[in-house]
Amino acid sequence: MKESVIDHLSELGFSGAEAAVYVALLREPKATGYRIARLAGKPVPNTYKALDALHKKGAIIVDETGRGRTYTALPVGEFFEGMKRRLDTMRGHLEEELKGLTAGAVEGGIYQLTTQDQVYGRAKTMLREAKGVALVDIFPGPLAHLRGDLEAAAKRGLRIWMLVYEPVEVKGCEVIAPKKPAAQLGIWKADWMNVVVDSREALYSLLKKDGVGVERAVWIKDPYLAMQAFSGAYHEFALDRAGQLIWSGKSKDEIAAEARRFSRRYITDDSFYEVMRPWINMEKLREIRRQADREEAARRRGESKAEGKKEEK
């Protein structure tokens, strides 16, 4: 039996003996306890204990119509469906019973995440609760898990800018993608997924390709640190996009126009400056931005006049 099978069953709460017995029953249904003990290579008392636990988990069924009791394992898919129904029912009951005990949103801090379920769950919550902008730096594996949530968030109006590593489109999102799979995909032995929303939260994760393990994962819920994470991601995205424009032969003015466009789209009051309000002079910031707008308007008027003169000639 492959170690990965035991590992996956252990993630579901199976003991070593339970996993061995379950796999033995998948290979030989309608077996007696003694037969299962031989197949699994476990002592008879331990085998019966594992059978009792598996029956309570809903992983096996028991036939007592014959002369002796026999056991059959439910197919993995059927077992999972039953477990999902039980968990959904349990969740509903617990949410109803414990809602008065909920303290509210998690306070600021830096939290280590240890499972992929925690990582994807946090990423989905961040996208669902984001109000303005999300920056997402993501490998193909994690993107497959998160695509539906990204498209749903974009549909409700969240502005999402993504850096990906193979040619792909995500509905409603602005994607910086290479023309062919990037070299990073062949170099890295793990998949990364980094998400920053509204300069308020950041998630950095490096996930094992087995779909289960986590190399590193940190969730940052601190406005100053998340603002720095947003700034770093934004400038990395901007540099990648500028590089694409340069290689495609765009002019200096075209590149500058594109830089102004994504600056106005993603560096907004609600996604960036509002977070810094306690630490910066907002009136001075508005003055600087008004001056920049005046300079931009003057530049455009100058270009318009120059074009008019060219046409007259």
pTM of the model: 0.68
Determine the length of the chain: 313
Element (H, E) at 11: helix 3-11
Per-residue pLDDT of the chain (313 residues; tens, 9 = 90+): 556 787 788 878 899 899 999 999 999 999 999 999 999 999 999 999 999 999 988 899 998 887 788 999 998 888 888 888 888 888 888 888 877 665 555 567 889 999 999 999 999 999 999 999 999 999 999 999 999 999 999 999 999 999 999 999 999 999 999 999 999 999 999 999 999 999 889 999 999 987 778 999 999 988 889 989 999 999 999 999 999 999 999 998 899 889 889 888 888 766 666 676 777 777 887 788 788 778 877 877 777 776 666 666 5
Q: What is the DSSP letter of 15?
A: -
| C-alpha radius of gyration, the chain, whole number | 28
In three-state form (DSSP H/G/I as H, E/B as E, the rest C), the secondary structure along 121-176 is: HHHHHHHHHCCCEEEEEECHHHHHHHHHHHHHHHHCCCEEEEECCCCCCCCCCEEE
Q: Which residue has the tokens 């019966």?
A: 48
Any idea which residue has 């594109």 for tokens? Answer: 258
Token pair 């819920």: residue: 221
Q: Which residues contact 173 (CB under 8 A, 6 or more apart)?
A: 136, 150, 151, 154, 160, 161, 162
> Which residue shows structure tokens 């600021």?
108
Q: Assign 181 to helix, strand or coil.
A: coil
Token look-up 């969740």 returns: 91
